[in-house]
Amino acid sequence: MDMPLFSVDLRKIINKQRLQIVTCEEVVDSIKITNMDVNRPGLPLTGFFDYFDASRIQVFGKMESTYLEKLSPEEEFEKIDRLFSAGIPALVITRSLQPSEQMIRSSIERKIPILRTEESTSRFMSALIAMLNVELGERITRHGVLVEVYGEGILILGESGVGKSETAIELVKRGHRLVADDAVEIKKVSEITLVGSAPDIIKHFIELRGIGIVDVKNIFGMGAVKDTEKIDMVINLEQWQQHKKYDRLGLDNETIEILGINLPALTIPVRPGRNLAIIIEVAAMNNRQKRMGYNAAEELNKRLTDDMERRQNESLN
C-alpha cells in the first residue's frame, strides 16, 4: 500500500475548527491526519465494519448519539470500544452533545481523543472536508508570482529577470494583492480547482533587484496581501522575440496543465515601454468576462462575419 504523501496535525485542525478537547489532550500533538475523507460511523456502530476506513476522522451527530442512548451501558461500551479499538485518529461530537461515561471510559483506555463542536453535523463536516482538501491535496511548487487582480487569481510565470516581481509590486501599488513571490505552492483542492500560497518562511516578502527583500504587508498594509488564492489564469512573461507571431485577437484559447487541471493561459511579450501591470489588469477582467459567457474576440469576429455577409448580399442585389 502506498504511504500518504501529506499529513496535517490534529492540533491544527482543532485550532482552525475551534474544537473543544474532551479527553486525551496529552496525545493530540502526536496524531497526524492523512485522509481527507470524513466518516459518520452509523453502520460500524451496528457491527458492520466491512470497508471501514480507520484512518478517517469519525463524526458523531444526533443520530449516532440517540442510537447509543437506547442501549444498555454494557452494550454501548462494547460498540464504542470496538470503534475505538480500530485505531481511529479522533472522534468529533457535534451540536455540543455530551459524551456518555462509557464513551469517555473507552476513549481514555484506547487513547483516542474525543473532540466537540457546537456546529451542526452537516455544517461541521463541510468545513472540515474543505480544510482537509486544502491541507492534504496533491501539490507542487512553481517558480513564479501569484497575485489577486480584480478577484482573479493570476499566476505569473517566466524566466528569472523578466520582471515578474516588479510587475507584482506595481499591481500592489494599484490596489491589488500579493499572494506569493518567487515560490508558489500550488495545491489541487478538487478536480477543477487549484489554490496557491506562499511557503511560510517567505510569506508576504518580495524580492526586487537593486533594492532587495521588501515586506509588502508592512509597507503597503494588510490589505495588500493574501494568504491563499484560487488560480484562475496563468500568464507567461517572455522577452519580445522579433519574428515570433503573438496572438492579436484572442480567438485561440490557450491552456496550461497543472496537476491535471487545464487553466486559461496567455503569453505576454515583454519589452521597454509596455505597462505590464495594466495589461494584466485587462487580462484579468477579460478572463472574468469569458467565464461569464462573453468573449470579445468572438463578438468582433461575429460582427466582421455579419458585415461581410451583408456586403455580399448588397452586391448581389
Catalytic residues: 143, 164, 182, 248
According to DSSP, residue 144 is labeled: E
Please give the sequence-ordered ranges of beta strands (E in DSSP) within 29-106, or none if there are none. Answer: 32-33, 38-39, 57-60, 91-93
Rounded distance between C-alpha atoms, residue 145 and residue 147, angstroms: 7
**Burial (Cβ within 10 Å: 0-12, 13-18, ≥19) of residue 280:** buried
Give the torsion sign (CA, 17, 21, 26, 27).
negative
Instruction: Give the other-Cβ count within 10 Å of 105's Cβ.
Output: 16
Rounded distance between C-alpha atoms, residue 317 and residue 314, angstroms: 5
Rounded distance between C-alpha atoms, residue 308 and residue 137, angstroms: 51
Contacts of 10 (CB under 8 A, 6+ apart): 28, 29, 31, 32, 33, 89, 90, 113
Look at residues 234, 221, 255, 58 and name the one whose alpha carbon lies nearest to residue 155.
234
Please give the distance of CA 180 from its chain centroid, rounded to a whole number.
14
Strand partners, 268: 237
Rounded distance between C-alpha atoms, residue 116 and residue 227, angstroms: 28
